A and B are shown apart, each in its own frame.
Chain A
């Protein structure tokens, strides 16, 4: 799972890591794991993917975890893309999201909760 960062000076929550806080520039952070539940803030259904993907209808979205961490994620709806709605509740998992010359790359994968 990803690691999120909470600024010890202003409380701002960040992902991914920055050497200085996005909000106040401070350098001390507390690390924590996002929850396993999130909602979908926006999404797209990609029909023409970059080189390296042999598929269509891949759903990517921006999610917000219940503990306020935000991230981009893959939304797995078994090709039923009509099911994807703004604001929908999601369960979040850590699973392979792409294959890099035979090596699995892990990322955030969401399914309708």
Chain B
């Protein structure tokens, strides 16, 4: 396989974007990545769009072709990749494969979702379409409900408390305040969301034991990376290229109840192991990580399943400040899904964009010092399709 680098990265702020269509958002993010790479008039061989549900949210399909048209990138090949919340990670993987195989030299990967076009309960329903239709969906399950059932078991087994969950939210909102691209720009406190008797008003239960501030917001947004070969990146040459050193992916049972131990996120473990094996490094080599904290419990669980901490020790590491900016392994310096937001198909690409900025030293106030190796988990379904990536700045 030929090596593949990220030569350009860009995103638009995640928020409610009533003025912009989905394809407009994709185009805005794409231009940022193309300009960041210094692409100029160099042709783009293929465009890969990560998106979960444009047909349902926006009544538009074939959005990759629509994006090529908006950007006048004809005759570039174009596809939309749908893999639920891991659509962005999958889109990067497909772009990687196209270049590694020699089929393409320059691939534009864009992730995006416009969810706020529908009302909240509709968005919750569309997201729940990823659950098992006959054994889960019919009961009115939502993704927060799946996470709630998972959290109850995980908390009992490993001694994770509501305060630990709140600390994930507090940390990621603090990080998000340093990220101009984050949807929620707000400092939150333990008193405000958990310990004050009135906190239940501003932080009501969504799916017990998870409350509002345990869940990511519903957002619109897009992010893009430009993939190419190291040789072409050198000719463009504006920014240090970031190597896609490892990609791992794994699946698990569709229904949560079919997992022998429902607290075991096997697909995260396997995807991470594969990514580290391909990158020939270990969790100990990682300087900065973007984990898929669609729910606070998932940041703790993924930090353990990816191999950064032993099972049951993720919450302690969090409380000790190890995963905060300035700590041993900063997790979600971007604010994560919790504060940056989670426009479903955009998330995996936005995670990669944040890592690129961190590895280049362009993350401003939220910069992790001397970050050389970055790692991300893009968690699809409720853990039934997971992508892990290792990105590296070669010194």
A residues contacting B by CB (< 8 A) are: 2, 14-16, 22, 41-53, 58, 60-62, 70-74, 81, 86, 97-98, 105, 107
Contact = CB atoms under 8 A, between A and B. Distances in A.
Interface string B131-142: 010111011111
A58 B207 CA distance: 9
Contacts of A86: 152, 156
Contact of A49 (B140, B156, B208): B140
Contacts of A15: 135, 258
Nearest 10 interchain pairs by C-beta: A44-B148, A50-B125, A51-B121, A45-B208, A51-B125, A50-B124, A70-B257, A62-B257, A42-B149, A44-B207
B206 interface: yes
Interface in B351-385: none
Contact of B142 (A46, A61, A73): A46
B144 interface: yes
Given A72-B256, A98-B140, 15 more contacts: A16-B134, A16-B135, A22-B253, A44-B208, A46-B145, A48-B124, A48-B142, A50-B124, A50-B125, A53-B140, A60-B139, A86-B156, A97-B139, A98-B139, A107-B139
Interface residues of B, number: 37
A25 B134 CA distance: 22
Contacts, number: 109
Contacts of A51: 119, 121-122, 124-125
Contacts of B121: 48-52
A107 B124 CA distance: 21
B133 to A, nearest CB: 9
Contacts of B208: 44-47, 81
A48 B206 contact: yes
Contacts of A14: 258
B61 interface: no
B126 to A, nearest CB: 8
B124 to A, nearest CB: 4
Contacts of A70: 257-258
B250 interface: no
A43 B135 contact: no
Contacts of B152: 42-44, 86
B128 interface: yes
A44 B149 contact: yes
5 contacts: A16-B132, A46-B145, A50-B128, A60-B141, A60-B149
B214 to A, nearest CB: 12
B153 interface: yes
Contacts of B255: 16, 72
Contacts of A41: 153, 257, 262
Interface centre among B122, B139, B142, B150, by most chain A C-beta atoms within 10 angstroms, is: B139
A14 B254 CA distance: 12
Nearest to A58: B140
B122 to A, nearest CB: 5
B140 A45 contact: no
B192 interface: no
Contacts of B149: 42-44, 60-62
A11 B124 CA distance: 37
B71 interface: no
B142 A74 contact: no
